[in-house]
Amino acid sequence: MSRWIEGRVVNNQHWTDQLYSLQVDAEIEGFTAGQFGRLGLDIDEQRVGRPYSFVNAPHEQLLEFYSIIVPDGPLSSRLYRLKPGDKVWVSRKGAGFFTLSLVPEAEYLWMLSTGTALGPYLSILKTPEPWNRFEKIVLVHAVRKVDELTYRATIQSFEEKGPEQFTYIPFVSREDTDFAIKGRVPAAIEDGRLEERANLPLHPDVAHVMICGNPEMVKDTSEVLKARGFTKNSRKESGHITTENYW
Ligand code: FAD
């Protein structure tokens, strides 16, 4: 049986000249919120496939993927140009371990992302599980420029669903704003700005931290947290930090 299913693009939303969200109709076998699928195109008679986190929840009919054009990247620039009706290959099943089923009990769930790594958290937040399991949920989205703070309407729906339970904290590193934290996530943990903004302690007795995206941010943030007593969570050993690198 082929690992690829033929899908059709239903919509390609261009947020900026680099960021886009593809909605795809494909009868895949299923996935768990937080997992990734693969998108593929046949380029020069070769199938080029890459992993992309699902943004939609498993119960939603259309598959959705949030991506950025990587300069000289073979797939991402072609996906950006796809139009409704175009064919795209999708992996038969979801894969990966960046899911709540591997996250142990905690009072507070911190979801830290850079750029397009916001996606898996949106999928998770569209399911009942995080809302039923955690007293407080903090979603951090770190970008370079304000127009990269995408999915604001979806995030607003989470704020309305749980005004006391859910907090969204944007970070913008290269522009001044009056609403986002300026700079990088690890520095804002070290100097206390993130906890102050969330009005919650970032401590291993009460918190679990998911970190996704740029591997440098994942590594630097993990190190800052380890200095506070957090340990890595894995399938073999329970801990307080669950991570996924995008490259
Ligand atoms: P590639 O040859 O794959 O990449 C070239 C280089 O681009 C990489 O070496 C890296 O330096 C850089 N790069 C890769 N991805 C990114 C990125 N997202 N932001 C900035 N620089 C990057 N990408 C998404 O945009 N959205 C997702 O939901 C997503 N989910 C992923 C899940 C997993 C588990 C992994 C491993 C990767 C994921 N990626 C995601 C990255 C994605 O698979 C591709 O690598 C990316 O779209 C570029 O593809 P490409 O063929 O154009 O270039």
Please calculate the CA angle 63-48-5 and round it to the nearest 5 degrees: 40
Residue range 107-163, pLDDT digits in tens = 999 999 999 999 999 999 999 999 999 999 999 999 999 999 999 999 999 999 999
Scanning the chain, the segments in alpha helix (DSSP H) are 76-80, 119-125, 129-133, 152-161, 185-190, 193-198, 215-226
* 156 Cβ contact partners less than 8 Å away, ≥ 6 residues apart: none
Check whether 95 has a pLDDT greater than 90.
yes
Is residue 39 a contact partner of residue 89, using CB atoms and an 8 Å limit? yes
Residue range 29-67, pLDDT digits in tens = 999 999 999 999 999 999 999 999 999 999 999 999 999
| Rounded CA separation 96/190 (Å) | 30
Confidence grade of residue 2 (pLDDT, cut at 50, 70, 90): confident
Global confidence as pTM:
0.98
User: In percent, how much of the chain has pLDDT > 90?
Assistant: 99
Mean pLDDT of the chain: 97
- State the pLDDT at residue 180: 98
Cβ(76) – ligand 1 distance below 6 Å = yes
| Rounded CA separation 7/37 (Å) | 12
Distance 118 CA to ligand 1 centre (A): 13
Nearest CA to ligand 1 atom 41: 246
User: In percent, how much of the chain has pLDDT > 70?
Assistant: 100
Q: Which whole-number Å values give the CA distances from 163 to 135, 195, 200, 210, 227, in the listed order?
A: 12, 18, 15, 21, 31
* 228 Cβ contact partners less than 8 Å away, ≥ 6 residues apart: 202, 203, 204
Question: Which of 76, 88, 113, 218 gets mutated to test ligand 1 (max ligand atoms within 8 A of its CB)?
Answer: 76
Is residue 112 a contact partner of residue 143, using CB atoms and an 8 Å limit? no
Check whether 1 has a pLDDT greater than 90.
no
* 73 Cβ contact partners less than 8 Å away, ≥ 6 residues apart: none
Cβ(109) – ligand 1 distance below 6 Å = no
Check whether 174 has a pLDDT greater than 80.
yes
Confidence grade of residue 17 (pLDDT, cut at 50, 70, 90): very high
| Rounded CA separation 233/53 (Å) | 20
Report the SS3 class of residue 38.
strand
Taken in order 204, 130, 36, 213, is the CA torsion positive or negative? negative
Report the SS3 class of residue 139.
strand
Measuring CA to CA, which residue among 222, 181, 212 is closest to residue 52?
Answer: 212
Cβ(71) – ligand 1 distance below 6 Å = no
Cβ(192) – ligand 1 distance below 6 Å = no
